[in-house]
Structure 1
């Protein structure tokens, strides 16, 4: 399956900067690298794929980064070197810096690696101006439909969006797929499982096996507390994160909670959304709100795979889904929320977007009370204000999201 990210990687190939692809485990980074290798060969580029599972190659490059040259074919143009899991090197930052400084005109590196590598401050300092980082999230809804081979529904969705008067005979099918997408999320291995029980089993494997690898890699000392915190965050998505309250609940130091939240962010399990404010005297404090980067993993953590309409937490789930949709379009640090001391709140604000926007999320259209948000509109008339709702689900749904 071709991911949207593949086009971004293709476009970045001619750039001098090295390309760094990051994201949570099992989102498809290795598969993307193979797709890029295929593309390079089709375009007649000199391309080399290095698999660091081969210990002899790894040892050779650890001994001397310039040994890389021995693996490259003779070429009139630039050599493209694709490296999966670059963190297996003893000093990946030094390796990338040396190759860039000496051979950037001749070699283009595209590398994936674990989040522990990107947590290293040396990576940011030493490779400043030498790399561009791309973050691969779990599949978008369009990618979900493509992976399932439902090209007819993808085409119908596109027709609905392009024609504001369009009515669809497939709207029920689209709603069914959207509901499944919200419940089970966008991990490729989960999407392709046809049996519901197997989908849940896959998500539990992600929760237990792959998240545990992140925990070990990050040096987390108390695995049980980490999971407790993770479940608390999943259960209260969209709520303010009060570190002191969480530390009291979990009976650990606030520094431990802060560290574990940082680990969850670095491994692309959660994102902390900061408040948007211009008047420090009127708008509330700087506590962030938390969202998970995949709703399937979120539902696994709270152990709830009920249908959307049956859920007691459908409002929180829909708000988290809106965060995921926005995260597919904007950088994490561009997403804000607005909240004042007297209780006024707007779920998402994008003050730095090309067209600054604010979005208030409601599960049901009947819950919308426009006058409640007049204070925000008066304070920021330059920001386009709109609502996002789930019910009633019709063709307009796909024109709003």
Structure 2
């Protein structure tokens, strides 16, 4: 079994009087992680999978008497896919306030309903974590560095979902199933879209624009909608952990772009499945976009798995000078240029280094990426 970095973080925070909340896209291993942790407590724990209709129904609008019947004498409680339960926030509040288990674990595949429902009842009483597809660090620890280095081009095409890693040869089928069903299950269950085709066209447009700045107005024209709907749908996709957004970085220099954004996918395989393009690296014209998406998503996993709470941006001037990716943490700027070819000469913008002389600059390519992801 592939060891997940989040397991170590969670184990350090058990029995501190706070619920453990794990959010993340479907099929990234949240249930597997909970089952692994549950091995420590199986004699006095209960595991409730809310994808099961009877469990979902029993926990919806439950009262104290019903919850005591369900939970019995178990003092360690796992509630998996909690966003499926109506009024889950109230249920969790009753469990914490009145049943008072030694430890409560809750997972969710979207932050739509779950975050809104649990924020108030669990204010100050939860540790919240994000679980993403497998990182290069986790894969290198599992397969060995040399093997994972050989797999790098494969990862750019098929991504790092656990099911993809564990089923060599069936990647395309798995990713198509993920992209067309599992990932969007909660989106379509919770949001009754009048025209689901709009969100599919939006995803295709976003996949094609990875690495480029995104205009809501232009997207709206492309998909035959309006900018308000585009903005709303992008927020929904973010909360489903399918995409993430980088804002432009500026400290008010006159020539810097101040209100722009780029949008990336948490997983390359999902991005390629949306486009229906699993061509090998040598046959692609989008290697720059693929590599940029991959590196930035890996940096986000690295920060997440090491509890480094950096702000993340890109930078560009009106004269088209740019920095692909910036992290700001504790007043320190790290600026990254991202290039697939290690032999390509790369110059960091002199305007940027002049504006931010204390920033540390880096160039990430396919040879040295390991230095930047904790391997």
TM-score scaled to structure 1, two decimals? 0.83
Relative to structure 1, the CA distance from residue 96 to residue 117 in structure 2 (aligned partners, 3 Å threshold; closer, same or farther) is farther
2:93 to 90, 97, 108: 97
- Give distance in 2, aligned partners of 1:51 and 1:338: 43
- Aligned partner of 1:185 in structure 2 is 159
- Give distance in 2, aligned partners of 1:98 and 1:301: 41
Map 1:29-44 onto structure 2 (within 5 A).
29-41=30-42
SS of alignment partner, residue 358 of structure 1: strand
- Give distance in 2, aligned partners of 1:354 and 1:4: 27
The structure having more radius of gyration, on CA atoms, is: 1
- Aligned partner of 2:341 in structure 1 is 364
- Aligned partner of 2:242 in structure 1 is 269
2:351 to 375, 391, 398: 375
1:47 to 2:45 alignment: yes
1:358 CA displacement: 1.1
1:33 CA displacement: 1.0
Unaligned runs of 5+ in 2: none
1:135 to 126, 130, 133: 130
1:46 CA displacement: 3.7
Relative to structure 1, the CA distance from residue 97 to residue 383 in structure 2 (aligned partners, 3 Å threshold; closer, same or farther) is farther
Map 1:1-400 onto structure 2 (within 5 A).
1=1, 2-41=3-42, 46-52=44-50, 53=52, 55=54, 58-59=57-58, 62-65=61-64, 67-72=66-71, 79-102=75-98, 104=100, 106-115=101-110, 117-118=112-113, 121-145=116-140, 150=143, 154=144, 157=145, 170=146, 173-195=147-169, 198-217=170-189, 218-279=191-252, 281-330=254-303, 334-352=311-329, 356-370=333-347, 372-390=348-366, 393=367, 396-400=368-372
1:350 CA displacement: 0.9
The worse-fitting range, judged by mean Cα deviation, of 204-213 and 254-263 is: 204-213
Residues 100 and 130 in structure 1, CA contact (< 8 A), matched pair in contact too: no
1:278 CA displacement: 1.1
Residues 118 and 124 in structure 1, CA contact (< 8 A), matched pair in contact too: no
SS of alignment partner, residue 304 of structure 1: coil
Unaligned runs of 5+ in 1: 158-169
Superimposed CA distance per residue, residues 313-368 of structure 1 (whole angstroms, 9 cap, x where no aligned partner): 11110000111111112358721111122212111111125853111111223433
What count of residue pairs does the alignment treat as equivalent?
Answer: 366
SS of alignment partner, residue 61 of structure 2: helix
- Give distance in 2, aligned partners of 1:250 and 1:184: 26
- Alpha carbon RMSD of aligned pairs, Å? 2.6
TM-score scaled to structure 2, two decimals? 0.88
Residues 87 and 117 in structure 2, CA contact (< 8 A), matched pair in contact too: no
1:100 CA displacement: 2.8
Relative to structure 1, the CA distance from residue 397 to residue 29 in structure 2 (aligned partners, 3 Å threshold; closer, same or farther) is closer
SS of alignment partner, residue 289 of structure 1: strand
Residues 334 and 353 in structure 1, CA contact (< 8 A), matched pair in contact too: no
1:28 CA displacement: 1.2
- Aligned partner of 1:165 in structure 2 is none
